[in-house]
Amino acid sequence: MNQLWGYLIVEELVRNEIDYFVISPGSRSTPLTVAAAQNSQANKIICLDERAAGFHAIGYARATGNPAVLICPSGTAAANYLPAVIEASIDNIPLIILSSDRPPELRQTGANQTINQVNLYGDYPTWQFDLPCPTAEINPNVVLTTIDLAVSRARQAPGGVVHLNCMFREPLAPTDAQVEIPASLVKWHEGRFSIGEAPPTPYTRYADKLTIPTPDEIQSLIETIASTAKGILFVGQLKSPAESQAVIKLAERLNWAVFADVQSGLRLRQDVPNLIHYFDRLLLTDSALELEQIDTIVQIGTKIVSAQWFKWIEKYPPTNYIALADNPDRYDPNHLVSCRIESDITYLCDRLCQQLPQLSPSTWVQKLRSASDRIGITAAKFLKTSKLTEPLIARTISELIPSQHGLWVSNSMPIRDLDMFGVGANAEESQSLSLRVGANRGTSGIEGAIASATGFAVGLQVPVTAIVGDLSSLYDLNSFALLQHNSQPVIVVVINNDGGGIFSFLPIAKSTDLFENYFGTPHGLDFQHAAAMFKLDYYNSLNYEEFIHDYLQAVDDRRSAIIEVTTDRAENLQLHQALNLDIQQKFE
């Protein structure tokens, strides 16, 4: 019965077109692991570290929009998924967890590797269910309908984490015992497909749900837009290229200023009309006076990186702040949103494009574009005259990364530097048109960065460059093991400033008696031996020219690699301050 239920679980997931299984080895999960191993349609990866497995699954789901399946044994194994569960839950990333558990008679008895796994993740899952032990007295159809509901809850907007806690009694390994397949399953079982054939439909098919606003809501939005003299289209994190294309079409129709977060898929492009590339730094200059009386902000997407943006809108709130999102969750840290519309983003943008008249460009938008271009020139000159620095690394990668690659950015300084100083290539080269950028901004933690990048590469099925800090890399050191067997190479650019660089920008840095030991946290380590341990190519770039050479060499080799760059935390703070001052002085 264990074998049968394991087979049904994996087979029904595959029939729902969920075919990526991240497996952490163990005994109690044997029925699930064997079922996945023996299913020719299932793609598998073995991940020894459950925390890394969870973030690998997140990277895959961010790339594909489709959940990966996590399989683990009983005990604390499933508890190690918790950081990834929280990240996925807050950012509406679909995941399906199949944790294995002891049977009820072993719970609260002191039995080995037995903990309370019911509701293990609290309120973070969008749905969770304690699947009973396989037995002939329970109709196996229960398994199929449960899996189909789990898939629906993980996928349907807003999406999120589903946890199925699967209890198994021994024997766990396959046996020669024959189990009669119930008559109700015969037809389903005979529908087994072979490679190259289209899979049969799931046992219970859940129709796709499209969240759309009412015609009155759309009309009210159109009237607000049409009456706007000064408008900003702010684009936060988007989930797919289809959403990015829909937003670009809306931007063409609006002719408003476009502020795009680096996670939007638009920030590093050159074909977005009225894109203000350096809006974050522009807010530090006198040109920002143009933004003091904004009629309307339409925000699409969430998880915005720019802290400067939040400070600005709190000081100069617009008359109308309209938030468009595909989920019911509030994302309004400044408490300024005056209207919120929940809708499928692609659908709503298409509807607005159909009904909105073509708006004319305004002179104030042209002023913003001109100011942004000046900031870009200033930053380029300033950074290229300095030695190899953290902002220059982010900017250089944005210039050199091939368009068919993916880019994963770790939290703290790397994503901020890319958001502030990243640049798209020339439009005629179409360099950045298909570049996907990923980051874990649900909780903005530093854990799981390398593991997430590996999953992102598998999901995109292209090579990925990951920009990661040294503490993130140390925190996720086990995940370098995933690079040995990943189906796509990942180039990990480790920015090693010997500690937590972002803390140098905080007021605590002035407490010199406490700062270095408790916040700067120097470690004195490098990653050359880690590269050797995990059999990865290793580069140590000492200057700007070497970094360009090493990065392009790693790209050409199409092998996973570590490129380590050593920087200085104090110098990095001074450089950011000097660059900001240089930008401000250009506008005085």
The stretches of 65-140 forming alpha helices (DSSP H) are: 82-90
Q: Kindly indicate the confidence band of residue 540, based on its pLDDT and cuts at 50, 70 and 90.
A: very high
E-assigned strand segments in 377-475: 406-409, 436-438, 464-469
The answer, yes or no, to whether residue 514 has pLDDT greater than 90, is no
> Based on the number of CB atoms within 10 Å of its own CB, is 252 exposed (0-12), middle (13-18) or buried (19 or more)?
middle
Q: Are 233 and 173 in contact (CB under 8 A)?
A: no
Question: Would you list the domain boundaries of the chain?
Answer: 2-190, 215-369, 386-585
* Side-chain half-sphere exposure of 40, counting CA atoms within 13 A: 7
Q: Are 217 and 352 in contact (CB under 8 A)?
A: no
pLDDT for position 411: 95
pLDDT for position 432: 45
Q: Are 411 and 440 in contact (CB under 8 A)?
A: yes
Q: Kindly indicate the confidence band of residue 185, based on its pLDDT and cuts at 50, 70 and 90.
A: confident
Query: The tokens 């092998």 sit on which residue?
Result: 559
Q: Which of 105-114, 129-138, 227-236 has the lowest mean pLDDT?
A: 105-114
Query: Can you tell me the distance from the alpha carbon of 539 to that of 525, in angstroms, rounded to the nearest whole number?
Result: 15
Query: The tokens 């250089």 sit on which residue?
Result: 396
Query: Can you tell me the distance from the alpha carbon of 240 to that of 131, in angstroms, rounded to the nearest whole number?
Result: 33
| Domains 2-190 and 215-369 equal at CATH topology level | yes
pLDDT digits (tens, 9 = 90+) for 462-477: 999 999 999 999 999 9
pLDDT digits (tens, 9 = 90+) for 282-292: 999 988 887 88
Q: Kindly indicate the confidence band of residue 208, based on its pLDDT and cuts at 50, 70 and 90.
A: confident
Query: Can you tell me the distance from the alpha carbon of 265 to that of 438, in angstroms, rounded to the nearest whole number?
Result: 9
SS3 70: strand
Strand order in the sheet with 490-496: 436-438, 406-409, 464-469, 490-496, 561-566, 537-541
- For domain 386-585, give the CATH number: 3.40.50.970
Q: Please work out, in degrees rounded to the nearest 5, the angle formed at the alpha carbon of residue 86 by the alpha carbons of 421 and 129.
A: 150
Query: What is the pTM (predicted TM-score) of this model?
Result: 0.94
pLDDT for position 108: 83
pLDDT for position 429: 46
The answer, yes or no, to whether residue 433 has pLDDT greater than 60, is no
Average pLDDT along the chain = 92
List, in sequence order, every residue forming a beta bridge with 466; answer none if it has no partner.
408, 492
Query: Kind and range of the H or E element at 216?
Result: helix 215-226
Q: Are 301 and 256 in contact (CB under 8 A)?
A: no
Q: Which of 331-335, 341-345, 515-519 has the lowest mean pLDDT?
A: 515-519
3-state secondary structure 489-514: CEEEEEEECCCCHHHHHCHHHHCHHH
The answer, yes or no, to whether residue 310 has pLDDT greater than 80, is yes
- In one-letter notation, the amino acid at residue 321 is Y
The superfamily CATH assigns to domain 2-190 is Thiamin diphosphate (ThDP)-binding fold, Pyr/PP domains (3.40.50.970)
pLDDT for position 196: 52
The answer, yes or no, to whether residue 189 has pLDDT greater than 70, is no
pLDDT for position 237: 94
pLDDT digits (tens, 9 = 90+) for 563-585: 999 999 999 999 999 999 999 99
The answer, yes or no, to whether residue 197 has pLDDT greater than 70, is no
The CATH class that applies to domain 215-369 reads alpha beta
SS3 346: helix
Q: At what angle do helices 390-400 and 544-557 cross, to 10 degrees?
A: 40
Query: Kind and range of the H or E element at 467?
Result: strand 464-469
**How many other C-beta atoms can be found within 10 angstroms of the C-beta atom of residue 342?**
18
